Structure 1
């Protein structure tokens, strides 16, 4: 893909930055766009820059792109899949034919003719800056689910935007400081964003599905896309038909490329099913790879990927990452992204991307299936358990014993009472460091925790008049928050390897088609087996509840049974084992000698956690990330 950069002074003041400094900012994104680079300075108060990874029409499409009359300038990162539709939408407004096969030219024409109203017409992944010199207005826009990153900061009244945090940090007048509230949120969720906030104070992200306008009147942000309402009348058969039609179309769109296309294949049901459509669409052998950490157990897990590859008859390789290669890749990602890692598999995906980049220019991934189709039973189950508790409370007079029994399970599993909100149940089960632990570890964290709690209370507000209201709220939260975290991980890992990643399960027409279907077709309880009230996690163990039901139903017709019914899995990563063995001394020294951690945490409480690695387990993972990431703030 590409790296974009821009500086814009709405009051037409001088930017007070020279070309060499702008180039230094742009070159932090060299891996995002190793093929070409460009820079345009406009009116002394606007600069656009670009780094390009050529995928479509490599000989043309250099950026930043200016209109013939020089009124409009565009810097763009992404891939649009409906170029024919956009051409039809704009053709009558231009006498000259298109000069390239690049979607950049069509995006420019769409924005010139339609303005911001043209953004909902875009199908694909994108982040761009669009400048109108006549109106002296900047528009930033980001795709519906945040596949492509777009960060911004206001520095001395100048808006600076870029594809990476590190590019903005390179601005000579920007002072990097950790964002304490985002740091606390990271410890709780392993997500490096909190709403618009990032881990760096003063750097925000344009929200997914939104556009930002900046002119003399200031900054305004507007949402151009939202989730459709659910149609409870749709049958399971109709839901499955929607999935088949839209998913097939989503894959077909993402196969179009002037460079070879491959895929990441974990052997899970999402990627294996995706592989059947890739095979069907390409009609030829394609490249697929799986990545694992180098241990016997992890390599044994790769048997499912091998089985899927054999079934698909694709060219398959297993990328094995040893602990030394893992640690080196960890440091490389920290330097490239300017953020701590979210999960241990981040480095595996990065090494996998580096291997694939030697063979293909585009790779398909299975991100988005679990969030759309309710694939996280423990987390989606929080919403279902909340709904069931509310139903039993409302019908207590009819069956008080059922309420009492279910409430005992709630209190035992979640540690919450019947008065607990959905957000409180979520915090009780789904956080790495729960709020009480944060208050012990981090002095004066109460106000930040309250802000975080308020945010999730709003995000998980249950609309009482909706069917499966708790499950709906939880599904939306995961599709907005967790998916964006996974997409950020994928983008960072693949872009650090100069590889374009595409994600068919995030096709917005697919999302709209499935989102509007009843949740019981995705998170399905077998009524014939259901006898008495139990928590979702137990219902799944007893094979009464099936997550991603509609997808698994399709998979059973296209895949071997063992793959179609396989439980959720990612790329096996033995980080916990390495932390306990090979890395033991390094982990201990890094944590105890980190000045950054000593500044952020209560030293006594921190040391107690560090000195008990067996008890702390993977709680040391985010702390270790923060210690390594925090080195940039020392001195």
Structure 2
């Protein structure tokens, strides 16, 4: 796994090596093993070191029009033959790539049949030669996770692309006369000449979901490339974004005749494909069904016991799955490490995590994910996870809630009104168990007046429309989050049959997978998700929702498929989220830090936010009148970003030369276009 960065001249101005190196160096945490930056010209005239590295003037003969930078985390083929930026065997192609390709062997054999000779064992070279042979048509043939930039000098064409489910990130922006791109916003802004203004639509979406979905970012000038999409740039034409994979086109596939057997074999094949590495490899083991299934199948595929890692929260029994994980470890025989987390450990992780997220991000489980990733990285370079299992097989509570939506709407209004009145007398508590059940029941009843898509949007919301308007009374609120959910249902079909596709297409890439990428890569740990194998996802979506979940249970099909694979105590256990109890801690050990960060002065810096509304929320939460834990954590993360990463970005975005005063122009590498 790696980090990539680069810039393409759109107006003929020469690319500056200081910009490319500043961007690349900002990604060293993603690729600590080695790095390189290269500038490529547009004609046969060589560019001499020291020429055109800082001037803003039209490019003459030999001036570079594109720069590519790469930071490498070595995983497969540790030799220099797999280093990047990588040049194609025929000379007409350059690639920088962040990811892993799981069907590299099949594609390598096909490309060898076309006469291509390979110089390494790396999947990077397979991606490079596939793009050279088939162009953008190669993208849907890739089974893997990736973000990439492919430059084809003969066509003067740049392709930026992301994997189909959004495991790897890619950002881009117009910076002066350049198209700049990078794995992270913190690297992108170091190109320089990039204005940064807060996007009010992104703020609304953040307050709605707790994350900012693509193509928005917190900055109006910066965009996320959506998953399953590619951007093509051919100056002087304007860059254009298109989708290469459409999940809606795969929903009508015929289901397998023996679903349990087919699902089990597809998951086993997905795990086996993700075991190739020339570095230490292990897995996360939470005690839940998905991670246990992955570890059990790893154990079946390998003779050597895998290393596994889990988290315990001794102080809060409901959130703690460590006892179940220990029981699983004893049965499967893994080499296990358990990391204990309390409020003090969580608080110590906050600066490390929130400073590296680049955008406001309110999923508090990022703190726990970072703790486990850091522990695993002491022994591993690659870890397998159970990410995606809940989305694909209907494990989340939202599936059961939406199953109940139609049933409850059929009840007389007097009955639901009575139930709502009774729940109003129950004090608001934090956490899971009965308190969590009451909170979820209130949310479910609140959504009964809405149609199905709107009810789904409400269930996803950290702050509903009324709460957002109370927090920003002078700012128009277009309920964009609801519109995005409704758009997904139009694409995937209305009603419960479209719900899993909506979850896979909206919160999965920009919440769950964004969290996994940023927390793991902050520790230079590659995480692979077998449940997101395309064949497995499409097979699961070919089966009716009723096969997978009901009002009372989730993952029904997956549980049947894993009988005899996963220990019975895991198959019988109820679903528990990978949660961090910030609701408890914000009114206790984290209260002083919250007060310091979420101050009136900082809130007033964020356009439109009313500090008195935020103070009311905190008071209600502390008095247990309302459970505002998620919303308060969202405000905390927003204010932390405002105080920290935003100011860092603004300082970095002005001039790349300030980033690298000590970098000599002779350090840049220049090539003639005739050589690449």
Q: Tell whether the structures are fold-level matches, with TM greater than 0.5.
A: yes
2:100 maps to 79
Give the direction of change, closer, same or farther, for the CA distance of 1:196–1:567 in structure 2 (3 Å limit). same
Q: Tell me the C-alpha RMSD between the 2 structures.
A: 2.6
Residues 230 and 518, structure 1, Cα contact 8 Å, conserved in 2: no
The reply to whether residue 47 of structure 1 matches residue 88 of structure 2 is no
Is the alpha carbon distance of 1:232 and 1:218 closer, same or farther for their aligned partners in structure 2, counting shifts above 3 Å?
closer
Match of 1:338 in 2: 358
Relative distance call for 1:130 and 1:519 in structure 2 (3 A) is same
| CA shift for structure 1 position 589 | 2.5
Query: Is the aligned partner of 1:547 residue 2:554?
Result: yes
SS in 2 for 1:221: strand
CA shift, 1:425, in A, is: 1.6
| Residues 256-315 of structure 1, C-alpha deviations (whole Å, 9 max, x = no match) | 111121111100011111111010011221100102346353785311111111111101
Q: Per the alignment, do residues 409 and 499 of structure 1 end up closer, same or farther by CA in structure 2, a change over 3 Å counting?
A: farther
Shift of 1:475: 1.6
* Aligned with residue 473 of structure 1, among 482, 487, 498: 498
457, 460, 475: which is aligned to 2:486?
A: 457
2:317 to 294, 297, 302: 297
- Give the match for residue 543 of structure 1: none
* 1:454 Cα deviation after fit: 2.7
Q: Deviation of residue 456 (structure 1)?
A: 2.6
The aligned counterpart of 1:275 is: 295
CA deviation string 1:333-354 (max 9, x = no partner): 2222312333222111111111
Shift of 1:560: 3.0
Contact between 1:438 and 1:445, CA under 8 Å: does it hold in 2? no
Q: Which ranges in structure 1 are unaligned for 5 or more consecutive residues?
A: 393-401, 525-535, 541-545
Match of 1:610 in 2: 618
Task: Give the CA deviation at 1:244.
Answer: 1.1
What is the aligned partner in structure 2 of residue 429 from structure 1? Answer: 459
Q: Distance in 2 between matches of 1:335 and 1:598?
A: 18
CA contact 2:75–2:277 (8 Å) conserved in 1? yes
User: Separation in 1 of the partners of 2:113 and 2:419?
Assistant: 62
Distance in 2, matches of 1:606 and 1:234, equals 49
Show the counterpart of 1:528. Answer: none
For residues 102-117 of structure 1, what are the structure 2 equivalents within 5 Å? 102-117=122-137
Find the counterpart in structure 2 of residue 7 from structure 1: 7
* In the alignment, structure 1 residue 440 sits paired with structure 2 residue 470: yes
Alignment deviations for residues 590-623 of structure 1 (CA, whole Å, 9 cap, x no partner): 2125424553311322232234441433421111
Rounded Cα–Cα distance in structure 1 between residues aligned with 2:460 and 2:547: 24
CA contact (8 A) 1:382 1:422 kept: no
TM-score computed with the length of structure 2 as normaliser: 0.83
**1:567-582 residue pairs with structure 2 within 5 A?**
567-571=574-578, 573-582=580-589
Match in the other structure for 1:395: none
Distance 1:308 1:434 in 2: 39
Compare 170-179 and 148-157 and name the one that shifted more. Answer: 170-179
- Is residue 643 of structure 2 the alignment partner of residue 631 of structure 1? yes
Distance 1:313 1:628, change over 3 A: same
1: CA distance between counterparts of 2:634 and 2:530? 30
Q: Distance in 1 between matches of 2:18 and 2:119?
A: 31
State the match for 1:511 in structure 2: 537
- Which residues in structure 2 correspond to 1:28-427 (within 5 Å)? 28-43=26-41, 44-59=64-79, 60-68=81-89, 70-94=91-115, 97-191=117-211, 193-215=212-234, 216-227=236-247, 228-230=249-251, 234=255, 238-293=258-313, 295=315, 297=317, 300-377=320-397, 379-385=398-404, 414=444, 420-427=450-457
> Is the contact made by 1:292 and 1:348 (CA closer than 8 Å) also made in structure 2?
no
Local SS of the residue matching 2:29: helix
Other structure's SS at 2:35 match: strand
1:611, 1:594 → 2: CA distance? Answer: 18
TM-score where L is the length of structure 1: 0.88
1:583 corresponds to: 590
Q: Which moved more, 1:23-32 or 1:180-189?
A: 180-189
Q: Cα–Cα, structure 1 residues 89 and 625, in superposed 2: closer, same or farther, change >3 Å? A: same
Q: CA distance change for structure 1 residues 608 and 403 in 2, over 3 Å: closer, same or farther?
A: closer
User: What does the per-residue CA deviation read over 1:396-437, in whole Å, with 9 as the maximum and x for residues that have no partner?
Assistant: xxxxxx676887699885456877322322243331210011
Cα distance in 1, alignment partners of residues 246 and 415 from structure 2: 35
Task: Tell me the residue number matched to 2:567.
Answer: 560
Contact kept, 8 Å, 2:399 with 2:499, in 1: the verdict is yes
| Residues 444-479 of structure 1 deviation map (CA, whole Å, 9 limit, x = unaligned) | 332x4344433332223388xx6xx41123221111
Question: Any stretches of 5+ residues in structure 2 without a counterpart?
Answer: 42-63, 422-441, 651-676
Aligned counterparts, 1:516-535, within 5 A: 516-524=542-550
Q: How has the CA–CA distance of structure 1 residues 405 and 515 changed in structure 2, closer, same or farther, with 3 Å as cutoff?
A: farther
User: CA distance change for structure 1 residues 575 and 417 in 2, over 3 Å: closer, same or farther?
Assistant: closer
Residues 120 and 225, structure 1, Cα contact 8 Å, conserved in 2: yes
SS at match of 1:12: coil
Cα offset for 1:188? 1.7
Instruction: Give the corresponding residue for 1:483.
Output: 508
Check 1:294–1:12 CA distance in 2 against 1; reply closer, same or farther (3 A cut). Answer: farther
Alpha-carbon contact 2:319-2:581 (below 8 Å) kept: no
Q: CA deviation at 1:219?
A: 1.8
| Deviation of the 1:569 alpha carbon | 2.0
Cα distance between partner residues in 2 of 1:232 and 1:2: 35
Q: Which moved more, 1:415-424 or 1:325-334?
A: 415-424
- Whether contact under 8 Å (1:209, 1:223) holds in the other structure is yes
Aligned residues: 595
| 1:449 partner SS | coil
